[in-house]
A and B are shown apart, each in its own frame.
Chain A
Amino acid sequence: MASKWWRWQQKSAPYLFISPFFVLFGIFLFYPFLYSFYLSMVQWNGGKTKTFVGMDNFKRVIQDDVFWLTIENGLIIMIIYVPLMLLLATLVAVLLNSNWVKGKGFFRMSLFTPNIMAVVAVAFVFSIMLNGDNGLINVILKQLGLIDVSILWLDSPVWARVSVAAMVFYRWMGYNMILILAGLQSIPKDIYESAYVDGATPFQVLIRITLPLLKKILVFCVILSTLGSFGLFTEPFVLTKGGPLNSTTTPVLLIYQESFTNLNFGYASAIAIMFFFLMMIFTFIQMRVTRDND
């Protein structure tokens, strides 16, 4: 009897130990996720009554120019910063992983710091520096004689996207660098040694050994940054409020506006669901394209 109890305990213990995650996941992620499926099929302004409307919300999303614009915004912002950021992050990581650089700890820390600072504070400083008429950036550019007329960093559609991308770049470069650095350190040293013995140049080593072995982690970074740029919220919310002309409204910002400004919770949920499937397709394609052939 005792041994039966013991065996039962032994078998159930792992479930008990992993249960906090699943309980929290269920309550805070899975249940809301299912509920938003339900919400996407009703019309609800936050009051007592929810009217079932079937697929109407989805029909509206598909015809909604603003929704497609937000996807476009996400794409544009991603194209502006992701390649540049990953290129730089890789370069810096390789440098910081090499033997001859001094003060590695200091550099790693200072590059990572932007990521742990409060976003709102960073965004506030950015918005002051990027101010159209007397912001620091414009003043410096004018002093250097690079421009005559102030650039409206936050008030013209093109530059607003660049500004948002710049801030994302600033915040996430260090983070990606750390990820890549971890990848670099997992590459066994003896591969490099044998390469050098065979007479490979450092450049050849980088192209032929380091990058191919980093592929997995780079793909991971690309997927993370892609999802990140469509899911941007704080940066555009604080810097530009999604404007001008919705040019920096990301899908998540649109969901926020529809739900909490316009109180269209049903419609907002439909956008969220559409967005979810689009992101799933995106990720799937990226994984297919970059899949290991071996």
Chain B
Amino acid sequence: MKQKWKSSLFLLMAVIMLLSACSSGGNNDTSGESKDEKIKLVVWIWDAAKMGLDANMEAFKAENPNIEIEYQLMSQTDLYQKYLIAANTGDKIPDIIAVESSNLAQMVNIDSLYDLTDKVAPYKDKIVPFKWEDATKDGKVYAMPWDSGPVVMYYRKDIFESAGLPSDPEAVADRIKTFEDYKEVGNIIKKKTGNFMFQDSKTRSNNRFFETMMWQRGLWYFDKEGNVSLDDPKVIETAEFYASMVKDGIVNDAEGFSESWLNAFADGKVATIVGAAWYDGLLENMIDPDSAGKWGVVQMPKWSVDDQYASANDGGSNLTINANSKHPEQAWKFIEFMLGKEESQLTMLKDAGSLPSLMTTYEDAVFSEPVEYFGGQPVRKIYTQALEQIAPQSYTVDFPVANQLMKNAFAEVFLNNSSVADTLKKTADELRSRTSRK
């Protein structure tokens, strides 16, 4: 018996020695690195976002020959999950993390991002105000805003024409002032051409369209006090209107960015996208590259002509620094170069179609330039106009939960023909219990 104990003790020792040998090896590696003149920063990011940084990489290297950047590409969901683990194990890598605004508050809340309050201070007034809200917790700022997603309406001129509707941007803006007009036009297009007004899945929507309608009206899943407001009469009214468009049959039932969604655009079966400015680059490069000259851009429809705000925000990203990073100064240098410098932001706009949140760039001539893909329409002016019209609010910490529940709520409305009001009331209660809110 005693011997058994001895041998297991011996084993344990062996294991501990092995493990400690491994970990001390790791330490040596990293300390050797810091002696080096050249510093390597690891950036976690997804493909589409990296495009903008690539456009400025040459210039950054020229200015900072000692900083080497290594990109590790992954999907957004993977990135957040991996970072969560890295943060909890105190990893020094990555140094820089890209975070979408929709998930920013949730990421800030895990308390592992580097405090950027002093560093971003000079930019406080230069960046569109709503971007700061999700980046801030207890008065401290943890992210540098990148692009914004002011929502506008993209429309197919040829489809509008074949339905006997005006197709010139000014005339379209005049014809579609409210969502009521939008629905009416959708029905005309359906009757005359058999095409759809827009696409969204009945059962697995990402809710962007509905959320955009809410945001524009200054409504959200939660109110300003943080209470659940999904059963607010105005929210219910908005959801009922959205459901009525689906029931009119003007919405093609396809999940965003799925095969059939992309095919419907390529086949010219969809008349509009009410979506963020980042569709600019996506339309041209991915969704509908063959239709140059056929798309036009106007402001998104309003709920009512008298509403104070005309637009909403959809998406947009930020760059953040890992609190455990060994090179926060250099990381900030990189972020400041990419996001704080007007030149870099303008390059991103031109080459990657990402719309700056940095307002000091808006005076640049590039904003009034005609854009070839949109038949020479100077669309960027429309984006900045929309930006100034965004109702000031933010995604908030529990957005991912709310978004998930809302998906099911709409599925229930469309699959079981449940009443919108009842479903939203039920969903609001579930949201309350899931997030321990009032």
Contacts and interface: CB of A to CB of B under 8 A. Distances in A.
Contact of B434 (A11, A23, A262): A262
A47 interface: yes
A203 to B, nearest CB: 47
A243 B411 contact: yes
A63 to B, nearest CB: 9
A101 to B, nearest CB: 40
A45 B415 contact: no
A157 interface: yes
Most buried by B among A48, A49, A244: A244
A47 to B, nearest CB: 4
Nearest to A128: B259
Given A47-B111, A48-B111, A244 B204 contact: yes
A11 B110 contact: no
Interface string A179-198: 00000000000000000000
B308 to A, nearest CB: 33
A15 B8 contact: yes
A32 interface: no
A245 B408 contact: yes
B3 A46 contact: no
Interface string A1-26: 00000001001100110010001000
Given A46-B87, A46-B88, A261-B400, A15 B7 contact: yes
A134 B11 contact: no
B81 A260 contact: yes
B407 interface: yes
A74 interface: no
Contacts of B106: 263
A170 B15 CA distance: 43
Contact of A15 (B11, B81, B88): B11
B305 interface: no
B407 A243 contact: yes
A240 B15 CA distance: 44
A3 to B, nearest CB: 14
Contact of B203 (A11, A128, A243): A243
A12 B7 contact: yes
Interface string A25-68: 00000000000000000000111110000000000100000000
A36 B112 CA distance: 22
Per DSSP, chain A at the interface is: loop
A131 B81 contact: no
A236 to B, nearest CB: 12
Most buried by B among A16, A45, A155, A260: A155
A8 B202 contact: no
Given A132-B253, A245-B412, A263 B259 contact: no
Contacts of B110: 45-48, 263
A46 B87 CA distance: 9
Contacts of B66: none
B111 A244 contact: no
B109 A155 contact: no
B257 interface: no
A246 interface: yes
Contacts of A23: 15
A16 B11 contact: yes
A261 B412 contact: no
A19 B16 CA distance: 13
A204 interface: no
A131 B261 CA distance: 12
Interface in B160-206: 201-204
Contact of B401 (A12, A128, A132, A261): A261
A254 B46 CA distance: 26
A286 interface: no
Contacts of A19: 11, 15
A46 B7 CA distance: 39
Nearest to B83: A46
Nearest to A9: B7
B198 to A, nearest CB: 16
B204 A243 contact: yes
B84 interface: yes
A8 B408 contact: no
B238 to A, nearest CB: 22
B260 A244 contact: no
A155 B202 contact: yes
Interface in A219-255: 240-241, 243-246
Contact of A157 (B8, B401, B415): B415
A134 B260 contact: yes
Contacts of B203: 155-156, 243-245
A16 B11 CA distance: 7
B11 A8 contact: no
A47 B412 contact: no
Contacts of A131: 259-260
A11 B7 contact: yes
Nearest to A26: B15
A155 B415 CA distance: 9
Contact of A246 (B84, B400, B401, B408): B408
20 contacts: A8-B7, A15-B11, A19-B15, A23-B15, A46-B109, A49-B111, A128-B259, A132-B253, A133-B260, A155-B202, A155-B203, A156-B203, A157-B415, A243-B411, A245-B415, A260-B77, A260-B80, A260-B84, A261-B404, A263-B106
Q: Which 6 A-B pairs have the closest CB atoms?
A: A12-B7, A244-B203, A47-B111, A47-B110, A46-B110, A155-B203
